[in-house]
A and B are shown apart, each in its own frame.
Chain A
Amino acid sequence: MGLPNQVAEELRRIVGRAAVIDSANDLRIFERDGSIEGAMPDAVVLASTTEHVAGVIKVAAKHKIPVVPRGAGTGLSGGAVTIRGGIALQVTRMRRILNIDPVAQTAIVEPGVVNQELSLVAAQQGLFYAPDPSSQKACTIGGNAAENSGGPHCLYYGVTTNHVLGMEIVLADGSVHWVSGDAPDRVGLDLCGVLVGSEGTLCAITKIKVRLLRIPPSIATMLAAFPSIETASQAVSAVIGHGIVPAALEMMDNVTVGAVEAHYHAGYPTDAGAVLLVEVDGTADTTRELTAAIGKILTENHGYAMREAQTPAERELLWAGRKGAIGALGRIKPNYYLHDGVVPRSRLPQVLSAVGEIGEHYKLPVANVFHAGDGNLHPNILFDMRDRDVMQQVESAGEEMLRAVVEMGGALSGEHGIGLEKSAFMPWIYSEDDLGAMHRVKDVFDPNGILNPGKIFPDPSRKAVHLAGRTGLAIEAKWW
């Protein structure tokens, strides 16, 4: 494997000598993202400008080499994994916030800008960027746009696509374009709508114009304990059933709370069967009224030990705990296998008990931490990759959980994307015709199939997860 020398030289002429990495041992370090499968790129190329990105893609197009844009590599579906080798096109150096317009309430950023950094800078103008994936401390806006990421506050504010106004993109032939612009109703064909969430399979993103929102004058965050996941799920349905849509409505089960408390000491009740974190915002009057109404509903549904964050610091700590939850699971086992299926809210209790049964059947610990308000599950199957025998169980358990979601009228993914991990399951929810239509769109944008190949669409020759763990550190992803 490896790039032909001549190609590497062409790339070096574009981005500079030090910005092309092709020593095999170093490439190994880039084989994974936040999910568990891995595959080595043939080169990592660091772009600093749109011209770099365009130039690199032109070279890739000429030689028909796969290109996979990569941000911080925190994705959870293998989106940045170079499953067919080729170039990992790293945009982490493109990290400038180019403009913040406080009147129009927009920002133009480069793709490597870290999600939370944008909100921190915008806060100086009283603004914030609403989509807040749990990895927002590290993940990039470019990656968020590519994956159409969600986050706890997307319950009320909507996911990334609702906040992207326009993008500068590079197509598979290396040409640079702007899609959409300022208008909330995108004029003409909504290409931006097609490209946000295309997981790097249709274009590379080099600039993003996003909507910023005014920081609400009052925010109230409350915590309630429940005897079980089922009672907590019923409480979620009850809140939404009363016509209240909180800014965020999150659930953590007992296993997760234990791991989170060990690091954050945020005051989550470790003896509860499940915990709900509820946030409302608006004027002081609104939040007072909503808090009272929600408190009453939660109590009626077996909620106890309720408390409201009294200071911004306390609120931040509660959120730090929630957002660090998946990482905190490392305290239990070194690896997690995570799906993010979505079910109609009313089916939450059933699907969660199915998830629990599947875990028990395979004797695998499962930790649930998820966006309950959206019905967006995150069952984390916990295991240790050093124990090779367990891999088959993990794979089967994950597949069965996702199957349960789909059988209850749900979808494969709420926010992590399909990527590598769920492509094999696409036929469960789409007919051949549906997939054919999607493929025709792909072919228009990327006729030679060089942009993030092997993702989203099922590859009949590839199973969901391959167990031929080569390194003991990643599950070797294979497409052949």
Chain B
Amino acid sequence: MTTPFGRLSDDDLATCVHCGLCLDACPTFRVTGLETESPRGRIYLMTQWKRGTMAFDEEQVEHIDLCLGCRTCEGVCPSGVPYGRIIEAGRADVEDLRRASLKRGTSRLALRQLVGHPGRLRAAGAATRLAQKLGLTSIARSGRMLPRLREEFRRPAGDVAPAIGAQKHRVAFLVGCVMPILYPQSHDAAIRLLQLAGCEVWFPPAERCCGALFAHNGDLAGASALRKANMKTYRAGDFEALVVDSAGCGAHLKDFYPELKGRVKDLTEWLAEIGLPSPARDMKLRVTYQDACHLAHAQRIKKQPRDLIRSMPGVDWVEMRHADICCGAAGLYSTLEPDMSSRILQEKLDDLLATNADVVAVANPGCQMQLESGLRARGSRMKVEHVSELLARAY
């Protein structure tokens, strides 16, 4: 612990000119109408704290807590305010100052003890699968949000999946911590697409959580420890690209792993770059797409997933209004701030249902869980699929 607000950079904060163009891009401003729940307001607050012109007031931390970290504001900010960096630093600074709250403390402990250790997370996944079979998970709200867990994702023997046809590329694949347990089918589809596109896929052994969930929740030390461990593994391998199919992880790897610079690729980014073979069958589906914040805003990737989906034969494409506004999932947010998360989700569901799509494609597990639980609650039959699963339908 250094000086109070030692991580927040005054120069980063000073890039905000207070023009307000970010306001309506912010999901929490959209539902509250309050300056205090807007990016401009949060920056104003953190600047006052940083410069010592306003005393730190624990009540006001709520405004920081309520930020989804979706970074939609960053994409619309003409001044180039590095909001993602500011909010992560601000959160880390705030964690040093506020009294340990039980909710936050527990979640941080759970993160460190669970997500940081693949073995424990797998055990939790197994326990949840059992609990779901016994019908126990419907008791708690967070339990109801979970998708029905399938058998966990398994790496191929020898940690390598060969290219189908001629090998043109060798890539590494981030297995990650949440995806293999919650959505193994997305991983399976992603890997199949990579193989079809001529990639030999390598699964770095001993790889752990990339650290994204830690950094997003103000635990920069935890994130940095994981980065060190993972870099050891990555350095031992030889690959053109590290392909990631969960947007939150991809954004974190691009920001926090300077050693990998340029080699971290979102699945859709990579597939758009190398091209997929001609599809084998028609889909006959009406499809829309929900941008993942960490893909659209943090990585500025909006075109590639849309282009890939639209190139599939038989796709009746429909663009959803406000597709690039957060659905309210935002990592652990839906658990930590269930009320705000649900208000944001309701706006999203209105736009989503208005598309009359058969399938909404997503690029991140958090969005998938959030939309699935929202659609279920509204009694809709619309399916939520990872882009990889949707594309794999054509092969």
Contact: A264 with B78, CB < 8 Å? yes
Residues in B whose Cβ lies below 8 Å from that of A334:
14-17
Residues in A whose Cβ lies below 8 Å from that of B59:
23, 25
Report the minimum CB–CB distance from B85 to chain A (whole Å).
15
Which of A27-35, A229-237, A437-445, A460-468 is the interface stretch? A27-35
**Closest partner residue, chain A, to B19 (CB atom):** A327
Tell whether A324 is near chain B: CB-to-CB under 8 Å: yes
* Known contacts A120-B321, A471-B53, A72 near B78 by CB under 8 Å: no
* Known contacts A90-B34, A471-B53, A473-B53, A25 near B60 by CB under 8 Å: yes
Contact: A330 with B15, CB < 8 Å? yes
Complexed CA–CA distance, A294 and B55 (Å)? 58
Contact: A330 with B81, CB < 8 Å? yes
Apart from A327-B78, A384-B14, 11 more pairs, CB < 8 Å: A29-B45, A30-B35, A34-B19, A74-B19, A74-B23, A138-B23, A263-B77, A326-B78, A327-B19, A331-B80, A471-B48
Tell whether B22 is near chain A: CB-to-CB under 8 Å: yes
Partner of A28, one of B17, B18, B19, B54: B54
Complexed CA–CA distance, A165 and B240 (Å)? 61
Residues in A whose Cβ lies below 8 Å from that of B10:
386
Report the minimum CB–CB distance from A140 to chain B (whole Å).
9
Tell whether B47 is near chain A: CB-to-CB under 8 Å: yes
* Known contacts A29-B41, A329-B17, A138 near B24 by CB under 8 Å: yes
Residues in A whose Cβ lies below 8 Å from that of B21:
74, 135, 137-138, 324, 327
Complexed CA–CA distance, A331 and B34 (Å)? 26
- Produce 1/0 per residue, B1-32, CB < 8 A to A: 00000000010001111111111110001001
Tell whether B273 is near chain A: CB-to-CB under 8 Å: no
Complexed CA–CA distance, A326 and B17 (Å)? 9
Size class of the contact patch on chain B: 35 or more
* Known contacts A263-B78, A327-B79, A73 near B20 by CB under 8 Å: yes
Complexed CA–CA distance, A391 and B16 (Å)? 18
- Produce 1/0 per residue, A171-194, CB < 8 A to B: 000000000000000000000000
Contact: B20 with A260, CB < 8 Å? no
Tell whether A46 is near chain B: CB-to-CB under 8 Å: yes
Contact: A92 with B78, CB < 8 Å? no
Residues in B whose Cβ lies below 8 Å from that of A72:
20, 23-24
Complexed CA–CA distance, A93 and B16 (Å)? 25
Tell whether B44 is near chain A: CB-to-CB under 8 Å: yes
Residues in B whose Cβ lies below 8 Å from that of A330:
15-17, 19, 78-81
Tell whether B51 is near chain A: CB-to-CB under 8 Å: yes
Tell whether A267 is near chain B: CB-to-CB under 8 Å: no
Tell whether B36 is near chain A: CB-to-CB under 8 Å: yes
Complexed CA–CA distance, A23 and B47 (Å)? 18
Report the minimum CB–CB distance from B5 to chain A (whole Å).
14
Tell whether B76 is near chain A: CB-to-CB under 8 Å: yes
- Produce 1/0 per residue, A74-102, CB < 8 A to B: 10000000000000001011010000000
Residues in B whose Cβ lies below 8 Å from that of A28:
44, 48, 54
Report the minimum CB–CB distance from B24 to chain A (whole Å).
5
- Produce 1/0 per residue, A101-137, CB < 8 A to B: 0000000000010100100100000000000000101
Complexed CA–CA distance, A204 and B24 (Å)? 22
Tell whether A457 is near chain B: CB-to-CB under 8 Å: no
**Closest partner residue, chain B, to A140 (CB atom):** B24
Q: What's the tally of chain A residues with a CB closer than 8 Å to chain B? A: 49
Report the minimum CB–CB distance from B336 to chain A (whole Å).
20
Most buried by B among A25, A34, A139, A326: A25
Contact: B36 with A325, CB < 8 Å? no
Tell whether B143 is near chain A: CB-to-CB under 8 Å: no
Tell whether A293 is near chain B: CB-to-CB under 8 Å: no
Contact: B78 with A324, CB < 8 Å? yes
Q: Nearest 6 pairs between A and B by C-beta?
A: A330-B79, A92-B33, A324-B78, A327-B78, A74-B20, A328-B78
Complexed CA–CA distance, A264 and B75 (Å)? 10
Contact: A29 with B25, CB < 8 Å? no
Partner of B34, one of A46, A264, A335: A46
**Closest partner residue, chain B, to A331 (CB atom):** B80
Tell whether B238 is near chain A: CB-to-CB under 8 Å: no
Complexed CA–CA distance, A329 and B77 (Å)? 11
Partner of A95, one of B14, B18, B25, B33: B33
**Closest partner residue, chain B, to A72 (CB atom):** B23
Contact: B78 with A260, CB < 8 Å? yes
* Known contacts A471-B53, A473-B53, A114 near B24 by CB under 8 Å: yes
Residues in B whose Cβ lies below 8 Å from that of A263:
77-80
Report the minimum CB–CB distance from A255 to chain B (whole Å).
14
Complexed CA–CA distance, A32 and B24 (Å)? 17
Contact: A473 with B25, CB < 8 Å? no
Contact: B47 with A473, CB < 8 Å? yes
Tell whether A26 is near chain B: CB-to-CB under 8 Å: yes
Complexed CA–CA distance, A330 and B45 (Å)? 18
Tell whether A472 is near chain B: CB-to-CB under 8 Å: yes
Contact: B19 with A112, CB < 8 Å? no
Report the minimum CB–CB distance from A369 to chain B (whole Å).
11
Report the minimum CB–CB distance from B117 to chain A (whole Å).
40
**Closest partner residue, chain B, to A336 (CB atom):** B17
Residues in A whose Cβ lies below 8 Å from that of B44:
28-29, 32, 473
Residues in A whose Cβ lies below 8 Å from that of B45:
29
**Closest partner residue, chain A, to B53 (CB atom):** A471
Contact: B33 with A327, CB < 8 Å? no
Complexed CA–CA distance, A23 and B15 (Å)? 27
